[in-house]
Amino acid sequence: MPEPVTPVTFPSTFLWGASTSAYQIEGAVREGGRTPSIWDTFSHTPGKTVGGDHGDIAVDHYRRYREDVALMAELGLDAYRFSVSWSRVQPTGRGPAVQVGLDFYRRLVDELLSHGIKPAVTLYHWDLPQHLEDAGGWPERDTAYRFAEYAQLVGEALGDRVEHWMTLNEPWCTAFLGYASGVHAPGRTDPEASLKAAHHLNLAHGLGTTALRSVLPPHNSIAVSLNSSTIRTVSQDPADLAAARKIDDLANGVFHGPMLHGAYPETLLKATEKITDWSCVKEGDLALINQPLDALGLNYYAPALVSAAGADTDGPRADGHGSSAHSPWPGADDVMFHQTPGDQTQMGWTIDPTGLHELLMRYTREAPGLPLYITENGAAYDDQPDPDGRVHDPERIAYLHGHLSAVHRAISDGADVRGYYQWSLMDNFEWSYGYEKRFGMVHVDYATLERTPKSSARWYAEAVRTGTLPAVTEG
């Protein structure tokens, strides 16, 4: 007789949610005085996105938010993490807020609260106002100060009703995909600029945290969402370990070093000294960045596998971050990325929940006592309706079961993980991949914009309702 399976049951206080971002879902890019962000410009530049896709309409959440909140309520979600469009609130990236822009988010928050769903606000999810990019973008120090002003405006407008706040989402992508490899907006390929951008994003986080604290009620929670990586090596050879150190510094230490510990890794500064002298780091910056946090958000999709590059290689390219002749890893051209073994999602990312467990335990050690949230985790598959209009996605159910089991295991091992936000609530504009990749637990017909919960949504709803993971065969 087989051994009985112990149910995977989460604490009763565990927060079950889903995530989205403004440019990926809102549409209405010219409503209420909104001006272009760098993603409007980038996506309308020929050759930058699959099929020339853009977010002009996206999934029209701006007009359909009540329908979308009703869907969240139907699924029983505890929380919804969304981002605010900076260009909608502050069209030039400076000056007073446009109230009609803030009013959209006020209505959204009120709708969420009326359905018992906790709103979680991310202030920046990659959509810098084009006006600020024209002035130099994130490589310019002034952008960090503009962000702090913007953070205060949004905090003043929503702070009485929103408890959970995140300053930045995945600053690694902003800095290195946007300014080094160029596969993300604004599409620049300048390694020195990317490192300056990383520092000014850190500074923006610190200044923004301080600005939020000046206007939010004391019980509110301020965090940041990092796409920290689990870095593994093909061997224990010293050269491979040194390669992993370089990538770990660029993927993780460049952000959590200043944010959590008040310093950049010395190994990072040494590895990049031929690119920049780091004179962008001014006296007092590290103290400004190293603000106390109430929580840390972690986004996880797949681990990285690296080695020292051979003499006949061109350095890191096959890293899962899009195709470019330019590397998003400044100072690491002597590192080679390898495809990790195992099944893959449609993105080509290996399915490996052990990497999530490893990441959670790392940050339990890196920041003892700091509550953790999974602010993004999910998978893209080619989900299509069957003849009856139903959308079955058993692969995603298996993916979610595996990764939520890893979260549960980390909690059992002492990690203070308070919640999980699935990426994503619904299919949407997937950046340079356009509408080709579907991450949603709700299917969107892009011709009609009809929403259809997939079988994974029903599975997740049952997990939310019971606090226990259903079997992978359900849904």
- Residues acting as catalytic residues: 170, 376
| CB half-sphere exposure, 471, CA atoms < 13 A | 4
What residues have CB less than 8 Å from 151, skipping those under 6 apart?
Answer: 123, 167, 207, 208, 211, 212
Closest CA relative to residue 28, chosen from 57, 65, 52, 68 = 57
Q: Taking Cα atoms as reference points, which of 86, 64, 89, 352 lies closest to residue 232? A: 352
Cα–Cα dist 175/139, whole Å: 9
Q: How far apart are CA 181 and CA 177, in angstroms?
A: 5
Residue 423's DSSP bridge partners are 19
- Peptide bond before residue 424 is cis, with ω within 30 degrees of 0: yes
Q: Cα separation of 154 and 101, whole Å?
A: 10
Query: Among candidates 71, 53, 51, which has minimal Cα distance to 61?
Result: 71
Q: Is the peptide bond before 36 cis (omega within 30 degrees of 0)?
A: no
Distance in angstroms (rounded) separating the CA atoms of residues 122 and 299 = 13
| Packed helices 394-412 and 353-366: angle between N→C axes, nearest 10 degrees | 30
Report DSSP letters for 76-140, one per residue: T-SEEEEE--HHHHSTTSSSS--HHHHHHHHHHHHHHHHTT-EEEEEEESS--BHHHHHTT-TTS
129: β partners:
37
Return all residues near 191 (Cβ < 8 A) that are at least 6 apart. 180, 275, 327, 330, 331
- Say how far apart CA 292 and CA 374 lie, in whole Å: 19
The encoded tokens of residue 336 equal 């080679």
Which run of H or E residues covers position 358? helix 353-366
For residue 465, what are its two tokens? 């309702």
Distance CA 337, CA 331 (A): 14
| Residue 200 CB burial class (10 angstroms; 0-12, 13-18, ≥19) | buried
167: helix, strand or coil: strand
CA distance 181 to 195: 12
